[in-house]
Amino acid sequence: MESLLTWIGDNQQMIYIVLLSIFLGVEVIGRVPSVLHTPLMSGANAIHGVVIIGAIIVMGEADPDNYSALLLGFFAVLLGTLNVVGGFVVTDRMLEMFKHKKKG
């Protein structure tokens, strides 16, 4: 119990961020027209690629001669980048068409 309280004390700010982000996420998406569900899903998909920052840190702190750690980190960075770059590009392609359609 005590350790839990200490943990909460130590991580107060993080916990606040989490709580506020949860409500923010709900509010931000609110009432989206179903037309936009697919691109929105894809855009959100790209944003959680932010996990790549963790991958970069893991990789950047690994021992230069610990090859198994380096290899693991390399794949983490590669996959994370795929998620970010691929996600944003795909979303842009979808949304490009919406714009085009509006003009036409």
Partner 1 sequence: MVSLLPLCYILGSVTFIVGLKMMSHPSTARRGNLVAASGMAVAIAGTLFLYRDGGKGLHNFGWIASGLLAGGVLGVVAARKVRMTAMPEMVSLFNGMGGACAALISLSEFRHEGMAAPFTLAGLVIGSVSFAGSMVAWGKLNGSVRDFAFRGQHFVNILLFLVLLGASIYMGIAQVPLLIYGITAGALVYGVLFVLPIGGADMPVVISLLNSFTGVAAACGGFLYHNPVMLTGGILVGSAGTILTILMCKAMNRSLLNVLIGSFGGSGSGSGGAGGAGTYREISLSDAAVVLTYAREVMVVPGYGLAVAQAQHACHELERLLSAKGVNVQYAIHPVAGRMPGHMNVLLAEADVSYDRLLEMEAANDLFSHTDVVLVLGANDVVNPAAKVDPSSPIYGMPILEVEKAKLVIVNKRSMKPGYAGIENQLFFQPKTSMLFGDAKGVLQQLIAEIKTIG
Q: How many helices (H) and strands (E) does the chain have?
A: 6, 0
Triad 74, 51, 37: Cα angle to 5°? 125
Asked if residue 86 lies in contact with residue 49, where contact means CB atoms within 8 angstroms, the answer is no
| CB-based contacts of 90, cutoff 8 Å, min separation 6 | 42, 46
Q: How far is the CB of 31 from partner 1 (least distance, A)?
A: 8
Q: How far is the CB of 4 from partner 1 (least distance, A)?
A: 11
Q: How far is the CB of 66 from partner 1 (least distance, A)?
A: 9
